[in-house]
Structure 1
Amino acid sequence: MKILAVSDTHGDREILTALLKQQPHLDGYFYAGDSELAADDGLFQQYEAVEGNMDYDPNFPMQITTTIQGVTVFMAHGHRFGVNFGLDKLIAAGEGVHADLIIFGHTHQLGVEEHAGIVILNPGSISQPRGQFANLGGTYATVEFTADNVHVDFLKRDGAIVPELSRDFSRKHD
């Protein structure tokens, strides 16, 4: 099972279209908020999307939980979980729905870590990156789950993988 995660486009609709062309035929496309687009925009028929703090359409959900091929994904923008001050509240919400993967945005800084068998991913901002990797010019991520492994790649706007940021996590089994 392989999915794409992207966040914080802030009105850059064209990049969302470009990513669909760069990464066709994935099992899921996740948008972690701050599009500044309408919730009924046709792109959100392909991307599962949540409301960010800069989205003003009340028809976006604040968070979603979905299962794809046995993998449970929890996604929220992050602002209502205080992600600028730590991930504890976000992790607790993901644990509450038995998530295998938590996707969030808001900080505009890419990152991935594992906590108690849950992979926690911020794909960074594709349009307004901040922090240590801002010089990459914007990032998104792909996540592939196999029977024993979770592989995360961070990619630049042009679809090029940034190999030094790729990470693998052992998949925990009950």
Structure 2
Amino acid sequence: MKVLIMSDSHGLTKEIADIVNRHKNEVEFMFHCGDSELSAKSTELKSFQGVKGNCDFGSDLPNELLIDVSGISLYLTHGHLYNVKSTLMNLKYRALELNAKIACYGHSHIAGAELIDEILFINPGSIRLPVLRKQKTYVILEVVGTKANIMFYDVNGKMIEDMSEQFTLT
């Protein structure tokens, strides 16, 4: 099972369309972690399940989603309501409340993935305004059994090897 995850596209349309077209035949789901600054009904977001970010004014998207992905509970939120720029503790507690094994979020524009207390946290970074890296990033998550492969890509579709890694879900 493969999932495309992006966040913080802040009004971009061509780049989203390019990414969707590049991966539409290889992923089962596409998730947007908020701050698209586009209407939930926009052409660019029609392939995505998504949440509202702090810059998505007037959006009717939900603040959070809990999605069953091939038997794994995946939690999706933007992160601003959980203070993710300072700590992942609040997000961890929410993921624990929901019994989520994977928590996807954005807001900080800092790409990364880490396993904390058996929860896999994924921030795909930003395809518009990255922080701490030059590359504008998104993620493809591939889950095979208990293995979760996180592959970071730049906005042009080139895999970023030094960021990509494998985790074991329990």
Could you state the TM-score of these two structures normalised by the residue count of structure 2? 0.95
Return 5+ residue gaps in structure 1 as ranges. Answer: none
Q: Percent of pairs identical after alignment?
A: 27
> 1:2-42 deviations in whole A, cap 9, x for unaligned?
10110001100111111111112311101001111112213
In the TM superposition, structure 1's runs of 4+ consecutive aligned residues that sit over 6 Å from their partners are: none
Contact 2:120/2:169, CA 8 A, preserved across alignment: no
Output the CA distance in 2 between the equivalents of 1:98 and 1:145. Answer: 17
> 1:59-80 deviations in whole A, cap 9, x for unaligned?
1111111112112110110001
Amino acid at match of 1:159: G
Could you state the TM-score of these two structures normalised by the residue count of structure 1? 0.93
Equivalent residue number for residue 149 of structure 1? 147
Give the structure with the larger helix fraction: 1
The Cα of 1:122 is off from its aligned counterpart by 0.4
> 1:99-121 deviations in whole A, cap 9, x for unaligned?
12111000011011001221100
> 1:147-171 deviations in whole A, cap 9, x for unaligned?
1311101100111101111111112
Equivalent residue number for residue 103 of structure 2? 102
CA RMSD in angstroms, aligned pairs only = 1.1
Equivalent residue number for residue 76 of structure 1? 77
Output the CA distance in 2 between the equivalents of 1:128 and 1:52. Answer: 15
Secondary structure of the residue that 2:41 maps to in structure 1?
coil
Equivalent residue number for residue 166 of structure 1? 164
The Cα of 1:57 is off from its aligned counterpart by 2.4
